[in-house]
Structure formats: structure tokens, C-alpha cells
Amino acid sequence: MIGHIAERFAIHFASSALLLGCVYFALRYWLRRNAKVGRWLSTRKNHLLVVSGLLVAGIAAWREPFDVFNGGWVLKSYFDFASWYLGSAVSAWGLYRFGKE
């Protein structure tokens, strides 16, 4: 069981990095194409990274309560949450720190 949790942690961590990059660039594209979006969504890089990270981690984590409800192990669900949120946070930090404006 521990191996399965570690495997899922690695998969979720990598997936959140990939998805965060996709959502970040989609938001930037949307902001460039639609001027009205800039009124309610900040165009600053760090703000877009935070919004992207919260979107990825929040939407991906919606599935975990269904696993627990259907008899899943609560500890596995905890590590799934942690992997999505940590992956999103590390990816946002990496894009902010090493990305070019």
C-alpha cells in the first residue's frame, strides 16, 4: 500500500506541474485576446501563477472525497491532496523563480 501511495504521489506531483503550466499559458492567452478579462483578473505574473495553482489543485482535489465516500483509505486521500497542492506550489514557485517575464 505504501508503494502505491508513493507512486500516486509522484504521478500527481508531475501532473500538477504540467497542468499548472498549461493553465498559466491559457490564462495569459485569454488575457491577451480579451481586454475585459483584465478588469477582474490581474495581469501580473505572480498573480496568474497563484490563480493557476489554485485552479489545478482545487479542481483535481475534488475527486478525493468521492474515494473516501466509496470506501477509500483516508490516509491515501490525504497524500493525494498533499501531492496536488505541493506539486502546484512547487511548480508555481519554479515558474516564477526561473521563468522569464
Task: For residue 85, report the phi and psi dihedrals to the nearest 5 degrees.
Answer: -70, -40
Mean pLDDT along residues 17-40? 90
Which of 35, 78, 27 lies closest to 53 in space, CA to CA?
27
Domain assignments of the chain as residue spans, ordered by start: 2-98
| Residues 61-91: tens digit of each pLDDT | 788 788 788 887 888 888 888 888 999 999 9
* pLDDT of 101: 59
**Beta carbons within 8 Å of 24's beta carbon, 6+ residues apart:** 48, 49, 52, 95
Print burial letters for 1-16: b (CB count within 10 Å at least 16), e (below 16). eeeebeeebeebbebb
High-pLDDT (> 70) share of the chain, %: 98
Q: What pTM value is reported for the model?
A: 0.82
- 26: pLDDT strictly greater than 90: yes
